[in-house]
Amino acid sequence: MKNLPVHGIVLFALFAMGCGKSVSPDGLPSLLPLTLTVTQEGIPLTEASLMLVPAPPYDGRNWAIGGITDQTGVARIYTHGKYPGAPEGTYKVIVHKIAVVAAVSYDDAPKDDIVALRQWEAEHAAELAQSKAINCIEKIYTNAETTPLEVTVSKGNTHYELQAGKAVEE
């Protein structure tokens, strides 16, 4: 009986959360599962950000749809960042990938001592400041008006393989 109040709180919390079910926003259409495999020059494109934009003519759809590719180049697509899948329709696919080129590598930095790490960063501040971000995707793929990548989400089309051009460093 000592644990009864704790159990009561847990049961109330589960009930209040709807037993783990999330409430969809008003007007969210039914979603179909969608995965995209993205390669660049035949190699899986990892850690790339994908955004799906309704293809013209614009029909009033206004849902944020996208995903991030994993180590195999596969992205599971979500609507509004948390609802798995995408509404039926045709979409242009925008691809972004930014890489950081550092003048010094954190591989040489202390790992388990935060004070030593901060001291290392202070000693290497000038080199770290020379780090730069580079775009790894050809510009044509980074804009909804110019990307040739397009997918049509429907019950029969829930996986696409896309080629995101040549590797670049811009």
Among the listed residues 30, 21, 133, the one whose alpha carbon sits nearest the alpha carbon of residue 87: 30
The pLDDT score that the predictor gives to residue 24 is 81
Q: Looking at per-residue confidence, does 111 or 60 come out higher?
A: 111
pLDDT value at residue 22: 61
Measured from the Cβ of residue 99, the count of other Cβ atoms closer than 10 Å reads 11
Model confidence, pTM: 0.74
% helix / strand / coil in the chain, to the nearest 5? 20, 35, 45
The answer to whether the beta carbons of residues 71 and 123 sit under 8 Å apart is no
Q: Of residues 105 and 160, which shows the higher confidence score?
A: 160
Has residue 135 got a pLDDT over 70?
yes
| Residue of 69 and 60 predicted with greater confidence | 69
96 vs 20: which has the higher pLDDT: 96
**pLDDT exceeding 90 applies to what percent of the chain?**
59
Across residues 88-102, what is the average pLDDT? 91
